[in-house]
Amino acid sequence: MRLIIYTGKGGVGKTSTSAATAYKLSELGYRTLLMSTDSAHSLGDSLDMELPTTVTNVKENLDVLEVDIIHEMKFRWSEIQDYISAFMLSQGMGEISAEEMAILPGMEMIAALFYVNQFNKDDRYDVIVMDTAPTGETLRLMSFPDITNWYLEKGFNTLKRIMNLARATVGKLMDMPLPSNEVLESINEIKRNMEQVKEILEDPKKTTVRLVLNPERMVIKETMRAYTYLSLYNKNVDMLVVNRVIPESAGESHFFTEKLKEQEGYMEMIHNSFDPMEIKMCGMMSTELRGHDKLVAMADAIYGDQDPTMLYASSSPMSFVTEGGIDYLNLKMPFVDGGAVELFRINSNTLMIHVGSQKCNIQLPDSLIGADIIGADFKDSKLIVKFKRE
Ligand SMILES: Nc1ncnc2c1ncn2[C@@H]1O[C@H](COP(=O)(O)OP(=O)(O)O)[C@@H](O)[C@H]1O
Ligand SMILES: [Mg+2]
């Protein structure tokens, strides 16, 4: 299974590009799922059809799923919701509804990623195209497997402690409801799921992230930041889609001449910043991009005769190599000033890297557990950490 994730700033054309790609893939004969994790639910608009909250077949080889978190909470995670509700009641707080649970941060993302994991296991699709919410939200999705494990670990341990406490005080007044075995098993299941999701997302041959942008200064800057963080989270970014490019033939008027000159500057900025990454372009279309025919035209503009499942880059931003008795961790960190990187060793097998407000935990391979860090270097947009084994 291939997973293609489109992300980028709001309004740049993620949903259109995702839908366009999905149409093209289905027409190439791939069993395709187009899914959206954006709570704004705009896939239906783009495809020009009403979409329910479950997987829907829209044409041969093409299913669509707009993840609706309230639906997920009600129908897929009801045991956990029941437990949390009981817990809230026991604490003198009101019951919590599926609607309230749904606003807890990150729920949409967990739900979407679980679908991906399930479909991967079932071998139900050849390709999943994921349309996402604007960048900030999606970066959280990308860092999610790590964060969730930490979060669940804590939650799980707390539950276990409560259980033990409950056993020790049987017969006394106990307000706390005991989580049932089903709830504990559900939590375990979430952990297992997240581990598997991480494996899919960080396999550079399975998952690639494609950044959609417009030739505008602020958008380019945000795209650069997104690229940095995605590399930090070890996600293979293999393409830029520059959308809404004004065609040279736009017009003779003074307005367009100025606009085109400005655009040329931005295109140069994009190339200078991102080369040698694959850069695709799509022109500004004169009509609203809605429905099959216009989306297929968009896909043709972007991909031409190429197969969108192609890997335009195939290596992971993070790698470990051994040379002359020294182990090196290499981590690609585009657009980062080395001085802004902080490195911490949390325990014998975990490194934590801070860049700006983002942090990520790196699990060291077994061979490096307990190895000494003997130096760190930053050059050519790459962080290099050196280890010496005991
Ligand atoms: N190349 C393009 N030419 C003309 N209109 C476009 C183009 N790309 C996107 N649009 C329009 O811009 C609006 C936002 O696009 P959308 O794909 O929903 O962006 P996003 O999902 O990034 O918010 C939509 O109305 C869409 O039809
Ligand atoms: Mg969108």
Query: With pLDDT > 70 as the criterion, what percentage of the chain qualifies?
Result: 79
Please report the pLDDT score of residue 365 as a whole number: 85
- Between 190 and 306, the more confident residue is 306
Long-range contacts of 296-300 (CB under 8 A, 24+ apart): 296/20, 296/23, 296/24, 296/27, 298/16, 298/17, 298/20, 299/20, 299/21, 299/23, 299/24, 300/24
Using the mean position of ligand 1's atoms as its centre, give its distance from the Cα of residue 12 in Å: 6
Where in the chain are the domains?
Answer: 1-316, 318-388
- Residue 214: pLDDT above 90? yes
pLDDT band at 173 (very low <50, low <70, confident <90, very high): very low
In 3-state terms, what secondary structure has residue 58? strand
- CATH number for the segment(s) 318-388: 2.60.40.790
pLDDT, average across residues 158-187: 60
Please report the pLDDT score of residue 346 as a whole number: 84
- Between 156 and 125, the more confident residue is 125
Q: How far apart are CA 343 and CA 164, in angstroms?
A: 37
Please report the pLDDT score of residue 179 as a whole number: 65
Q: Which atom of ligand 1 is nearest to the CA of 12?
A: 22
Please report the pLDDT score of residue 280 as a whole number: 98
Superfamily designation of domain 1-316: P-loop containing nucleotide triphosphate hydrolases (3.40.50.300)
Q: How far apart are CA 144 and CA 13, in angstroms?
A: 24
Q: How far apart are CA 372 and CA 333, in angstroms?
A: 23
Q: Which atom of ligand 1 is nearest to the CA of 287?
A: 4
Q: How far apart are CA 81 and CA 85, in angstroms?
A: 6
- From the CA of 39, the nearest ligand is 2
Average pLDDT along the chain: 85
272's enclosing H/E stretch is helix 254-274
The DSSP secondary-structure symbol of 157 reads H
Highest mean pLDDT among 203-217, 316-330, 370-384: 203-217
pLDDT, average across residues 48-73: 90
Q: Which atom of ligand 1 is nearest to the CA of 16?
A: 17
> Out of 101-115, 158-172, 270-284, which region has the weakest mean confidence (pLDDT)?
158-172
Q: How many residues does the chain have?
A: 390
The answer, yes or no, to whether any atom of ligand 1 lies below 6 A from the CB of 289, is yes
Highest mean pLDDT among 78-92, 133-147, 248-262, 280-294: 280-294
Which residue's alpha carbon is at the smallest distance from atom 26 of ligand 1?
Answer: 289
- Residue 131: pLDDT above 90? yes
> Out of 4-8, 296-300, 350-354, which region has the weakest mean confidence (pLDDT)?
350-354
pTM confidence score? 0.86
Using the mean position of ligand 1's atoms as its centre, give its distance from the Cα of residue 142 in Å: 23
Helix-strand-coil split of the chain, %, nearest 5:
45, 25, 30
Please report the pLDDT score of residue 215 as a whole number: 97
